[in-house]
Structure 1
Amino acid sequence: MYRNARGRPGAVLAAAAVAQFVFALDMSVVNVALPAIRATLGFGPLGLSWVVHAYALAFGGFLLLGGRACDLYGKRRVFVGGLAVFGVCSLAGGLAQAPWQLVAARAGQGLGAAAAAPAALALLTTTFPEGPRRVRALGVWSAVNAAGGALGVLAGGLLTEYAGWRWVMLVNLPVVAAALALTAAGVPADARHGARERMDVLGAVLATGGTGLLVFGVVRTDAEGWGSAVTWATLAAAAVLLAAFVLAESRSSTPLLRLGLLRSRWVAGANVLVFLAAAGQFTAFWFVSLYMQQVLGMGAAATGLAFLPFSAAMVAGTFAAIRVTSVRGPRAPLVPGALLAAAGLLWFAAISPDGGFLTDVLGPSVVTGAGAGLVLAPVAAAATTGVAAREAGMASGLLNSSRQLGGCVGLAVLATVAAHRTGAATGPGALNDGYALGLAAAAALFVVAAAVAVAVLPRRHRDGGTAAPSEKQLEGIPS
């Protein structure tokens, strides 16, 4: 029996952080292993991309559904179930003997992550009340999330080179086991429900279909192109489904996403901001990794090691943001952080085909990483300010969806911009010019993010009552 309904806060934070680390790690760890995977399993040139796309599609498509499931069926229950699915599918991927088996396993990993990731964030926001303790907890969660994404490149390179590509999947198993053990040790059991709300089935179908088609249309632009009829038809279908989703939610008594939640300037502003920041950050990872390997000629393991300064700076920026946010609120570090990240990316945009790690990568990595850390730590606190515990999963699913969609859309658009600059040329000079343009465009996204923080987020720590109902207003209502 736990001492209180919040369980052991340290164990809750540790479980959520470990889970978020492995989900972020899995977004990037596979990329470096793709050539080895193709050689072993016999993927075709287009089929190989689905090792990445299957995870992104399932993860992005089911996040809103996963977030709402937390509120209806229990955060701990959904968290454990999502972790279990993720772990089983990681094992299946590591043992895959055919291309379709690996792609199916990657889709299953994305589905498990889509359930457990919003549950992890919801557990934090309900365990740690608003104030400095929540800011510190979300800061640790954000730092671990950032470190997982950056270290995935390093882990993928080292595992592929020294242990074999199957270990980029199997390495998840001990991490998942650790998260489950921490959950058993300190995450409280879900409260007993009274009359449970029903799942918004229509909203779930429309949201999952719409976001899934959006992710599918965007990630397939690498093969179809933005001018393709297939691309436009897919994106048009996604727009129709998402518009229908908004209409359905406005009329539903038990919505998957309560549209009133978006009347909060904290919630709306933070989700727009994280969309832009994720687009810039994912793009930076992509272009800098390609620059080091295809222009500077660095190997996979060396490229992974080169990302360590970026990771360290991001963690340092995150903990600096915790201190500022605890005193002045989440808005305070967001503007300087976004502008610092933009400055770092503009510095990156000065890359040269005759450059090197010390002259072209190290300095801008530190500046960009510190700025991104200042942004990503408080944005989670901003997105959950004023949100009631009974809607914590809903808000968490929305934030994770915004981050995932921002990364997918931003990378696809800016990769197209870079490819247009490069044209048909394949030499280091042409590639360098394309990557530089992409990095400059990513800097512009962070500038827009800073403008959103200034224009939308309130100066005061609370939103004047436009957020979700307070906990006192919800007393006596089953959660």
Structure 2
Amino acid sequence: MAPDTPTNRSGPAAGFSPGLILAFVCMGQFMVFTDVSIVNLALPSIQDSLGMTDVSLGYIVTAYATVLGGFLLLGGRLADTFGRRRMLQIGFTVFALASLTSGLADSSTVLIISRAVQGFGASLITPAALSILTNTFPEGAERNKALGIWGSLAGIASIVGVILGGVLSNGPGWEWIFWINVPIGAAAVLLAPRLVPESRAEGAKGRFDTPGAVTLTAALLLLIFTLGEATHQGWGSARTVGGLIGAAVLLVAFITIELKVKSPMMPPSIFRLRTMRVANISAVMVFGTFSALFFFASLFMQQVYGYSPLKAGFAYVPLAFCVAAGAGVASGLTAKFSARVLVMAGLVLAITGLLLLWQAPVDGSYAMNLLPPFILLGLGCGMVFVTLQIAAFVGVSDEHAGVGAGLINTSQEAGGALGLAVIATIAYNGMTSEMAATNGKPELITEVQAAANQDAFLSAAVAGLVALLVVAFLMPRGKHQEPGTPAAVPAQDNLAPAPVEK
């Protein structure tokens, strides 16, 4: 077993294979992202089995996503402080045990609590795995290729989760969408010491910003939960407004704490890195766009085109392949083009795909009206995911790798919740009265549902356009050096500057 030695430079540890390390951490990330979507097609079966209401059914999804997003930054700081491999093993243990209790749940309360605990385990796995990856591969071409593989998993795993959820719930039963994680998690805990070296931030042992951790985690949990509930509660409700005000107060308190403590959970200096800063801002908007896309595309196929849940899941297969292709293209071009160019190209493809979905007719076909936009969206999604992951680590020192990993993943989760909440509010505005006016006629109901979904696609395209403008005007052009980069060492390109001085 490798000793717990601090590291402050990237590169594979002696005795460990970079390829095996990459495969191991990507396996963990794939499991985490699969469980975001795997429950979607199993919800009807779970509802029948446990007698759950429609309201409580939604918490099976939001409990996992909310806790995952709320604890990511804390998980990253814990990994930097107490050891990244150690946090990875703890995360796998928690995730596997929560998956076991989720499958054994005999009531909605037990299932929802288990899903929340599962989300906490995932929040320890993701930043620890990503910081291990960035510490294993030096900044430049090697890291870009590794992050290309990592970034492609977000889109692919989400789609695989939808398909796998339908297959398992229609086959052995919905319990197996959770139980499948148990042997994987147990094997990961046992194999981690043999495959992954231990590392932590230099000088971080014994110092931890508890007030900052508690304040920020509470703020993120409240914000993500409030945004997720805004669709049902309404943006003007006391619950939504109060939640947003409370989150803002907690965030201000967190910033105040970070400016005063000696060992801040999120060092303010990390925000001096321009490319990283813009990458996180862009990730909020981009993941809001794609979160709404997958949600409403699933509804559109089932409500308007009459697809079964399983057929809708398999309809995403070409999109999954295109995500992988887009990720491969992006990771291969990072040595030739700046992050700005690649993200803009990916967003143009995605926006075009969303506009095509907006124009999809009620009586359309998969080959003519869904497949072309899915191809464009997959390619764009893969390119953007990978490039933003790479850009989010430009100039980030190894001792802050966990913070950087937690920050980009938090941006993704918060962006997904915000985007879905805002776009769903726009799409469903006035829908209740319109449905009442149909008098239960199926063809009129389909028209109303189609209009709501098409409004969502147009709103997502507008959100993508805003993200495109942010990247075009704020992300650095071409080759540059981040603050603190030694002037004597030339940066390779926008995605791979010379190491930041420590």
Instruction: Give the direction of change, closer, same or farther, for the CA distance of 1:195–1:78 in structure 2 (3 Å limit).
Output: closer
Which one of 273, 287, 302 corresponds to residue 296 of structure 2? 287
Q: For 1:166 and 1:207, how far apart are their aligned partners in 2?
A: 34
* Conserved? CA contact 2:209–2:265, under 8 Å: yes
- Mapped to 2, the partners of 1:348 and 1:466 lie a distance apart of 45
Structure 1 residue 472: Cα displacement: 7.1
- Say if 2:501 is the partner of 1:473: yes
CA distance 1:455–1:91, shift in 2 (3 Å): same
The equivalent of 1:394 in structure 2 is 403
1:155 lines up with 2:164 in the alignment: yes
**Alignment counterpart, residue 466 of structure 2, candidates 422, 430, 448:** 448
Matching residue's letter, 2:29: Q
1:64-143 equivalent positions in 2, closer than 5 A: 64-143=73-152
- Residue 470 (structure 1) shift: 7.8
- Structure 2 counterpart of 1:207: 216
- Give the deviation of 1:100 after TM superposition: 1.1
C-alpha change, 1:329 and 1:248, in structure 2 (3 Å) is: same
Q: Equivalents in 1 of 2:298, 2:418: separation in Å?
A: 18
Deviations 1:54-73 (A, max 9, x none): 11121111111001111101
1:459 to 477, 484, 493: 477
Which residue in 2 is equivalent to 1:369?
A: 378
Distance 2:474 2:251 in 1: 24
Q: Which residue number corresponds to residue 6 of structure 2?
A: none
**Alpha carbons of structure 1 residues 435 and 217: separation in structure 2 relative to 1, 3 Å:** same
Matched, 1:298 2:307: yes
Residue 260 of structure 1 corresponds to which residue in structure 2? 269
Letter in 2 for 1:473: E
What is the distance in 2 between the residues matched to 1:185 and 1:425?
Answer: 60
Aligned amino acid, residue 89 of structure 2: V
CA shift, 1:150, in A, is 1.2
Q: Secondary structure at the match of 1:473?
A: coil
Could you say which residue in structure 2 is the equivalent of 1:352? Answer: 361
Q: Are residues 1:428 and 2:437 paired? A: no
Which runs of no fewer than 5 residues in structure 2 stay unpaired?
A: 3-11, 436-444, 487-496
Contact 1:265 1:463 in 2 (8 A): no
Identify the residue that residue 7 of structure 1 maps to in structure 2.
Answer: 16
Whether the 8 Å contact between 1:18 and 1:175 is mirrored in structure 2 is no
Q: Where does residue 456 of structure 2 map in the other structure?
A: 438
**2:453 is paired with a residue of what secondary structure?**
helix
Amino acid in structure 2 at the alignment position of 1:243:
V
Local SS of the residue matching 1:220: helix
Give the TM-score normalised by structure 2.
0.90
Match of 1:336 among 341, 345, 358: 345
| Structure 1 residue 6 displacement after superposition | 8.1
Alignment of 1:10-89 (within 5 A): 10-89=19-98
Paired with 1:384 and 1:299, the residues of 2 have a C-alpha distance of: 41
Distance 1:69 1:366, change over 3 A: same
Aligned residue type for 1:77: R
Is 1:6–1:126's contact at 8 Å kept on the other side of the alignment?
no
**SS of equivalent residue, structure 2 residue 197:** coil
Gap regions ≥5 residues in structure 1: 475-479
SS in 2 for 1:234: helix
Q: Which residue of 2 aligns with 1:477?
A: none
Structure 1 Cα separation of the partners of residues 433 and 350 of structure 2: 31
**Shift in Å, 1:178:** 5.0
Is residue 81–residue 200 contact of structure 2 (8 Å, CA) maintained in 1? no
The structure-2 alpha-carbon separation of the partners of 1:402 and 1:252, relative to structure 1 and needing over 3 Å to count, comes to same
Describe the SS at the equivalent of 2:123. helix
CA shift, 1:234, in A, is: 1.1
The SS at the match of 1:260 is helix
Shift of 1:52: 1.1
* Aligned partner (choices 153, 165, 170) of residue 174 of structure 2: 165
Q: Secondary structure at the match of 1:425?
A: helix
Cα distance in 2, alignment partners of residues 381 and 373 from structure 1: 13
Distance 1:282 1:123 in 2: 27
Is 1:324–1:332's contact at 8 Å kept on the other side of the alignment? no
Q: Is the 8 A contact 1:351 1:432 kept in 2?
A: no
Q: Distance in 2 between matches of 1:175 and 1:381?
A: 28
Equivalent pairs counted in the alignment come to 474
| Structure 1 letter corresponding to 2:483 | G
1:223 to 2:225 alignment: no
Distance 1:472 1:343 in 2: 38
Of residues 185-194 and 134-143 in structure 1, the stretch that sits farther from structure 2 once superposed is: 185-194
CA shift, 1:77, in A, is 0.8
Match of 2:8 in 1: none
Q: CA deviation at 1:163?
A: 1.9
Q: Alpha carbons of 1:178 and 1:132: their partners in 2 closer, same or farther (altered >3 Å)?
A: farther
Tell me the SS of whatever aligns to 1:245.
Answer: helix
Pick one of 326, 336, 345 that aligns with 1:327: 336
| Distance change (3 Å), C-alpha of 1:467 and 1:38 | farther
User: Which one of the candidate residues 132, 148, 155 is aligned to 1:146?
Assistant: 155
1:259 maps to amino acid: P
Q: Report percent identity of matched pairs.
A: 36
Q: Hey, what's the Cα distance between the residues in 2 that align with 1:274 and 1:191?
A: 26
Instruction: List per-residue Cα deviations over 1:414-434 (Å, max 9, x = no partner).
Output: 011100153433411111111
CA contact (8 A) 2:71 2:120 kept: yes
Task: Read off the aligned partner of 2:476 and give its amino acid letter.
Answer: P
Separation in structure 2 between the aligned mates of residue 123 and residue 34 of structure 1, nearest angstrom: 35
The 8 Å contact of residues 16 and 179 in structure 1, kept in 2 or not, is answered as no
Question: Which of 331-340 and 371-380 deviates more?
Answer: 331-340
Q: What is the TM-score with the length of structure 1 in the denominator?
A: 0.94
Would the aligned equivalents of 2:327 and 2:383 in 1 still touch at CA under 8 Å?
yes
